[in-house]
Structure 1
Amino acid sequence: MNGRSAEAEILYGRILEAAPEQADARHLLGVLCGQTGRVEQAAALIGEAMALRPDAADYPANLANILDAAGQPERAAAAHRRALSLSPDTAEGWYRFGNALPHGGTHLREAAVTALERAVRLVPGDHRAAGRAALLLQIMARPHRDAGQRAEASALLERAAGLLPEDAGIRFDRAAALYALGDRAGAMREFRHTLVLAPGHADAWSNLGLLLDETGHSYDGAMASLRALALRPDFVGSWVNLSAAWNTLGLHGRAVTAAHRASALHPGHAGAIGNLAGALGAMGEVEPPSKLLRRAVILCPDDRDIASRHLYSLLFLSRQDSADLLAESRRWAARFAPPRPLPPPANHPAPDRRLRVAFLSGDFRNHAFSFYLEPLFRAFDRSAIELALYSTTTAPDTKTQRFRGIADLWRDVASLSDDELADTIRRDGVDVLVDLAAHTMGNRLPVFARRPAPVQATNAVNVVTTGIGHFDACITDALLCPPGTETQYAEPLLRLPQISWAYQGPPEAPEVGPLPALRNGFVTFGSFNNLNKLTDETVALWARVLNAVPDSRLVLKYMSMRDSSTCSRLRDRFGAYGVADRLELRQPPTGLRANFDDYNDLDIALDPFPFNGHTTTCEALWMGVPVLTMASRPGDLGVARVGEAMLTSAGLPDLIARNADAYATRALELASDLDALATLRSGLRGRVAASPLGDVEGQARAYENAFRTLWRRWCAAPR
């Protein structure tokens, strides 16, 4: 104790001897004791002063400060409460009270934040209080985020951002929370705000890159990922995001390089392996992607999207095994879609009433499958069916707006969890829920395990099982799923009386042009299919066709042709058969009409196998180009029956080859009779339009009858 403190203590003591009721002296002596480490003596003296002057707010305030300094937060908080009850507009008091409250429990943290927020309201420039409150809110948000309680975490972070709007760290956390909530627009805004505040925030650049790619702005996404890597060259996540963006842009050689860089930094990174698989598949590799995705599944057994991608990759393999695929699909379903039924639906079981039929898909956008869906939806009898569309796309476009205009009920559901989506479907009173995705991108198969609708069906978008036992039917037909194929499906088959896919060419399609061979002097074969369908057997057979038809050419068109390394690989594969110089590799032009017009440069289209063309086959036929396909073999999956089913439905069985020899022979026959080929070309569009393949109205009636059959079964079932 220094001399002045000793003198002051003696003076206060003498005052109290003379006037024991002197509250200020007792209070000041207590403060002095607190300053010299005698906490209990200080507390006793200030407590006595408070009893003498219960209205003095500074007495309990000083006691609280002493107890704070002594590490006694509970007693300090009680003293702060007393002081604030007497002087509630003291910003410093609220700040000290918020700091004094123990922060070991949620309710105490909330009380502390409330106190600190009050201090900020009293003195808006008090960054100490704002910073402390924001920190506590971030701490409070973490367990909610880790438990998947995204809305709760986001709300807390929104409060934090309101306290410190110029704090880049809080903005970043808020952006991440909004992204987890599925609010991509909000997340985009917050990531951009983060970068305004902190241009060197590598994590914000990386996350922005991922988000831009997901929402259809892949070039900007790639540039954002490159900014992140300029700041942190060893940033694994940014290399992964960059490889994804390059893949989306069709620059697969760059995607391979970026994925390899990520794997070098983090061997076994499942995202990098998955992106590498996607790039190699798009470049025309078939076997490696499946092996890579199998490895990714082993590394990340809880990632259902990776597992779905692996299942999907099996469809492209030459040596397909339906029993193995069914077993793999069922294992996927057991892990990711176990039964989790909601309470029984309350739908009114009237057999003949108007039905609310809902379709769930990520392809309500400019996607090949949309060319089947839009005409079908427009053809539905709306007096019998109320059309509900649930869209999981994250990159809507002008085609999305067209689908929205068709629907009686439209829901954007990409941001919803499986539970939230199932609850939404149930609240909407959906009678029949139809899956349009199977294991393709944007699928929400676990929703069907919750049984949100009385009737659930899949239409086997890729003519393959989902593996899930929660469907009442897989709606198909006898061509795609002939008798005996029931063992390939986990779902009961409900066969329509005609092909379950009908095609109607879009209004943008140009007129069919004259046969190109008549002006060129040589025959042009072509395929505009995804390159991951080009198995080694397919390449060998197409090369055989080229060698059999003198001076013939093969046009391959796909967005992968934007990539020089993809083109080099293709030339090398065909070069092994001496026909590399007969290839023409095209990038898709801009616009639907221009893409269709490219068919006017083809004389004959070649269908890959075992994964046949789908939309490309219909487009070629619509543009007068005959498509030569291979018949399916025993044990093949449904993807190998698509070409056969379409050509049979179109009345073109002579374009179905029973084996490779017949395929090559038929190609030579077609190419050798140009007059017959020109005649076939001129009438092909009308022929398709008049056939079951072009009968969209008949397809709509068949689907309506199927839905009604399933609905009546449910109505008749005991409850």
Structure 2
Amino acid sequence: MDDPRHVMAEAIAARQAGDLSASARWAARLAELLPAEPVVRQFQGEVLTELERLDEALAAFEQAVALAPAEAGMHRACAFLAVQCARPDTALVHLEAVAALGQETSDDLANRADALVALGRGQDAIEAYGALLRHRPDSVDALIALSSQLIQARRHAEAEPILRHALTLSPDDGGALTNLALVLLHRGEADEALALARRATERTTPHLAALLARAQAEHRLGHAVAAQNMVDAAERLAPEGNVYIADCAATTLTALGRVDEAILRLRRTLATPQRLPANILSSVTGKLLFCLQYVPDLPAAAMVAEARAWNRLAIGITPLAPAPRSWEPERRLRIGYVSGDFRQHACAFYIEPLLAHHDKSQVEVFCYSDVVVEDSHSQRMRASADHWRRTAGLTDAALAEAICADGIDILVDLAGHTSDNRLFAFAHRPAPIQVATLIGYSATTGVDAMDTLLGDPFLTPMGCEAEFTETVHRLPRIIAPFLPDARWPDPAPEPPERTVFASVADPARLDARTIALWARLLDAVPDSRILAKHNLFDDPEATELWRRRLGELAGRVDIEGIPGGWGRNMGFYGRVTAVLDSPLHSGNTTVLIPLWMGVPVISLPGPNAWQRAGASILSNAGLADLVARDDADYVAIAARLAADRGRQIDLRQSLRPRLRSSPVCDGPLVVGDIEAAYRGLWRQACRRQT
């Protein structure tokens, strides 16, 4: 019974007869009898693989490898099983052993690249796919895999020629069409991207990635319902908790006002155990933080806790060694600004005057621009900076190293948790003082590497410190100056005869409370109407959806899109009496632009920073009487204004001069406040060095 030859014969016979369980038992006995024989462990592993007992099979092959480490075939079997067992780290060890033996084939190289992707080692995967393409230059699969990693690493420009080559080899390949659509979306060419994504999704069996790329393109073009339809189709192809679907669905659902569903999907996804690149988890967490700002009465502690969850993604990042610098408290400071919005964008109304009014004898300005396609706004901002670094293709680590090499003293983030942010670069701690702002994002970052947040007396009033993980530094007036577009027309000479209240807020901000306030206001001013204007309403399907959501109120609310963009629609402000800021999430440009066009804005601040922007702007403009204390006061202020045509006319004529002479538009004054804050932070840092 214990004769190894007899046991081996029984094991082989059982396997040939199809009795794999018996064969596995004989193989286990044989391994006990011949523990130093690698071929026995190999046989045992093969039988266990056929039984789909993969973890045991992998253990058997690893024992075989330990006995015969120079056998490349054994390593390959281990790598194959490790992949099946979702252990890419183990697969990589064995594939690297094959390479070290000098027996790596192109298949091994492809598998090694795939394992590196699974481990989130994007740069190593890029190098491996590059090596694979030197063996197989016309491998469409390898070209697409390489392009995917380049896109993941923000190196879209490098991915484009690779994808165009893939499409010359296989013109209808869904993966190549999808990835090229993503490259074009990144460059702002949404129409061309949609055409490619449609080709990819019109295949007999469209891939998940193609559906999501099309959803992004549809959303970018304002086709909100079509975008959600693509997300729904993607969801039917993937298990619940798929991170890429949740990331895309958060955008499309929020656009349709279905924020609760977006939050549910994001939470469910984040609770699903899965190995994912940090930047994908960062995007999903950032979307959750964005959606939470649309939750009525969200406690400050809840937002802080969620932001701290993002911080855990950065725990493994090692801070860079500090660059040598002079700790002279009064010397000229090197200030770095990091943003993807140095272009035509709502944030540019603040960033451009901020850069333009810096005192160059006091500060040397570095801009780290993630803008892919620069425009005239970019050029003006570039002219105001001392140094302009184009960073769109850099990894976060490479960006941090560049910032450190520039010797930046104070590094300022202008993005927060908005899409494609660079918070991971800040986590490398490239500057001794790192500052968050409320220009591009209206809440705490929750990031350990952020030292200070610049606020003002209205956005960050005394007692709000628990809302932020950063130390709050209050500027004396407002967080940034506003620069109106010189192309905007003069205000209409008089307000309309009939009272028309307007909403220009993102419809996602129109929650049940806001709509109830509209109903109260329309009752208080019986002959009035409300006009909701937003580019979402360029989509007839989305417009109809919102009409149904308004219910009985729909008969007194007009809904309009913005065909051709706001540049062609500025005459709209001559048709309205006042603009209603959303209590759920206050606006910045949706408050400032109406005021500049001579239209008063009524705002109702709330307990969180994102609900207080309107109050800050109005107070700084000397219009604190338009800031309501509560719901009843909000309705009363609007009703009084509707009844006072004399004041309407006065405001129509005086609002623009009032803004121009107030801190709101006083670039030198407000930037002076900001520079004083920087100097104070620097002096504190210098004292800590002594």
TM-score, length-normalised on structure 2? Answer: 0.80
Letter in 1 for 2:224: H
Tell me how far apart the structure 1 counterparts of residues 569 and 134 of structure 2 sit (CA, whole Å): 50
Tell me how far apart the structure 1 counterparts of residues 657 and 177 of structure 2 sit (CA, whole Å): 53
Tell me how far apart the structure 2 counterparts of residues 264 and 421 of structure 1 sit (CA, whole Å): 38
Superposed CA offset, 1:177-210 (max 9, x none):
4334432122112112111111231211122222
1:290-689 aligned at under 5 Å gives the runs: 290-299=263-272, 303-337=281-315, 340-394=318-372, 396-461=374-439, 462-518=441-497, 522-574=498-550, 576=551, 578-590=552-564, 593-632=567-606, 636-689=607-660
1:221 to 193, 196, 204: 193
Residues 1:277 and 2:250 are matched in the alignment: yes
CA positional deviation for 1:162: 5.6
Task: Indicate the SS of the match to 1:224.
Answer: helix
- Tell me if the contact between 2:144 and 2:179 (Cα under 8 Å) persists in the aligned partners: no
Task: Indicate the SS of the match to 1:561.
Answer: helix
Tell me how far apart the structure 2 counterparts of residues 595 and 347 of structure 1 sit (CA, whole Å): 51
Structure 1 range deviating more: 242-251 or 462-471? 462-471
Task: Indicate the SS of the match to 2:496.
Answer: helix
CA positional deviation for 1:137: 5.7
Tell me how far apart the structure 2 counterparts of residues 659 and 144 of structure 1 sit (CA, whole Å): 56
Identity %: 32
Tell me how far apart the structure 1 counterparts of residues 592 and 311 of structure 2 sit (CA, whole Å): 32
Superposed CA offset, 1:606-650 (max 9, x none):
000121011110111111100011133xxx111112111211111
1:249 to 221, 234, 239: 221
Superposed CA offset, 1:211-266 (max 9, x none):
22222122222222221222242422211222122122111101111111111121
Letter in 2 for 1:287: D
Tell me how far apart the structure 1 counterparts of residues 449 and 396 of structure 2 sit (CA, whole Å): 15
Letter in 2 for 1:226: R
Partner of 2:673: 702
Q: CA RMSD in A?
A: 2.6
CA positional deviation for 1:306: 0.3
- Tell me if the contact between 1:286 and 1:534 (Cα under 8 Å) persists in the aligned partners: no
Partner of 2:53: none
Tell me how far apart the structure 2 counterparts of residues 157 and 305 of structure 1 sit (CA, whole Å): 25
Superposed CA offset, 1:141-185 (max 9, x none):
455555555555445544654665544344334433433443212
Partner of 1:84: none
Tell me how far apart the structure 1 counterparts of residues 313 and 154 of structure 2 sit (CA, whole Å): 24
- Check 1:328–1:164 CA distance in 2 against 1; reply closer, same or farther (3 A cut): closer
- Check 1:178–1:286 CA distance in 2 against 1; reply closer, same or farther (3 A cut): closer
Structure 1 range deviating more: 324-333 or 425-434? 324-333
- Tell me if the contact between 1:168 and 1:197 (Cα under 8 Å) persists in the aligned partners: yes
1:204-219 aligned at under 5 Å gives the runs: 204-219=176-191
Tell me how far apart the structure 2 counterparts of residues 642 and 103 of structure 1 sit (CA, whole Å): 55
- Check 1:152–1:640 CA distance in 2 against 1; reply closer, same or farther (3 A cut): closer
Tell me how far apart the structure 1 counterparts of residues 154 and 290 of structure 2 sit (CA, whole Å): 25
Structure 1 range deviating more: 491-500 or 390-399? 390-399
Partner of 2:150: 178
1:220-239 aligned at under 5 Å gives the runs: 220-239=192-211
Letter in 2 for 1:189: P
Tell me how far apart the structure 2 counterparts of residues 177 and 332 of structure 1 sit (CA, whole Å): 23
Tell me how far apart the structure 2 counterparts of residues 373 and 363 of structure 1 sit (CA, whole Å): 8
- Tell me if the contact between 1:510 and 1:593 (Cα under 8 Å) persists in the aligned partners: no
Tell me how far apart the structure 1 counterparts of residues 142 and 507 of structure 2 sit (CA, whole Å): 44
Larger Rg: 1
- Tell me if the contact between 1:362 and 1:441 (Cα under 8 Å) persists in the aligned partners: no
- Tell me if the contact between 2:311 and 2:446 (Cα under 8 Å) persists in the aligned partners: yes
Task: Indicate the SS of the match to 2:434.
Answer: strand
TM-score, length-normalised on structure 1? Answer: 0.77
Task: Indicate the SS of the match to 2:669.
Answer: helix
CA positional deviation for 1:562: 2.1
Structure 1: tracts of 5 or more residues without a match: 1-72, 75-101, 114-131
- Tell me if the contact between 1:357 and 1:387 (Cα under 8 Å) persists in the aligned partners: yes
Superposed CA offset, 1:309-333 (max 9, x none):
1012111111210012112222321
Tell me how far apart the structure 2 counterparts of residues 665 and 325 of structure 1 sit (CA, whole Å): 32
- Tell me if the contact between 2:126 and 2:146 (Cα under 8 Å) persists in the aligned partners: yes
- Tell me if the contact between 1:239 and 1:261 (Cα under 8 Å) persists in the aligned partners: yes
- Check 1:420–1:218 CA distance in 2 against 1; reply closer, same or farther (3 A cut): same
- Tell me if the contact between 1:345 and 1:454 (Cα under 8 Å) persists in the aligned partners: no
Tell me how far apart the structure 2 counterparts of residues 168 and 275 of structure 1 sit (CA, whole Å): 26
Tell me how far apart the structure 2 counterparts of residues 639 and 586 of structure 1 sit (CA, whole Å): 26
Tell me how far apart the structure 1 counterparts of residues 96 and 272 of structure 2 sit (CA, whole Å): 39
Letter in 2 for 1:317: V
Task: Indicate the SS of the match to 1:565.
Answer: helix
Task: Indicate the SS of the match to 1:299.
Answer: coil
Tell me how far apart the structure 1 counterparts of residues 140 and 264 of structure 2 sit (CA, whole Å): 42
CA positional deviation for 1:484: 0.7
- Check 1:467–1:180 CA distance in 2 against 1; reply closer, same or farther (3 A cut): closer
Superposed CA offset, 1:305-359 (max 9, x none):
1011101211111121001211222232133356632223312212122111011
Tell me how far apart the structure 1 counterparts of residues 260 and 126 of structure 2 sit (CA, whole Å): 43
Tell me how far apart the structure 2 counterparts of residues 234 and 160 of structure 1 sit (CA, whole Å): 27
Task: Indicate the SS of the match to 2:312.
Answer: helix
- Tell me if the contact between 1:337 and 1:446 (Cα under 8 Å) persists in the aligned partners: no
Task: Indicate the SS of the match to 1:579.
Answer: helix
CA positional deviation for 1:275: 2.3
- Tell me if the contact between 1:361 and 1:442 (Cα under 8 Å) persists in the aligned partners: no
CA positional deviation for 1:270: 2.6
- Check 1:294–1:547 CA distance in 2 against 1; reply closer, same or farther (3 A cut): same
Tell me how far apart the structure 1 counterparts of residues 452 and 152 of structure 2 sit (CA, whole Å): 33
1:106 to 79, 99, 123: 99
Tell me how far apart the structure 2 counterparts of residues 213 and 300 of structure 1 sit (CA, whole Å): 30
**Number of equivalenced pairs:** 591
Tell me how far apart the structure 2 counterparts of residues 334 and 176 of structure 1 sit (CA, whole Å): 26
Letter in 1 for 2:677: A
Tell me how far apart the structure 1 counterparts of residues 500 and 154 of structure 2 sit (CA, whole Å): 47
- Tell me if the contact between 2:501 and 2:530 (Cα under 8 Å) persists in the aligned partners: yes
Tell me how far apart the structure 1 counterparts of residues 316 and 533 of structure 2 sit (CA, whole Å): 41
Tell me how far apart the structure 1 counterparts of residues 307 and 623 of structure 2 sit (CA, whole Å): 34
- Check 1:324–1:153 CA distance in 2 against 1; reply closer, same or farther (3 A cut): closer
- Tell me if the contact between 1:341 and 1:451 (Cα under 8 Å) persists in the aligned partners: yes
CA positional deviation for 1:410: 1.8
CA positional deviation for 1:453: 0.3
- Check 1:596–1:157 CA distance in 2 against 1; reply closer, same or farther (3 A cut): same
Structure 2: tracts of 5 or more residues without a match: 1-69, 72-94
- Tell me if the contact between 1:350 and 1:715 (Cα under 8 Å) persists in the aligned partners: yes
Tell me how far apart the structure 2 counterparts of residues 170 and 235 of structure 1 sit (CA, whole Å): 17
CA positional deviation for 1:485: 0.7
Tell me how far apart the structure 2 counterparts of residues 225 and 308 of structure 1 sit (CA, whole Å): 25
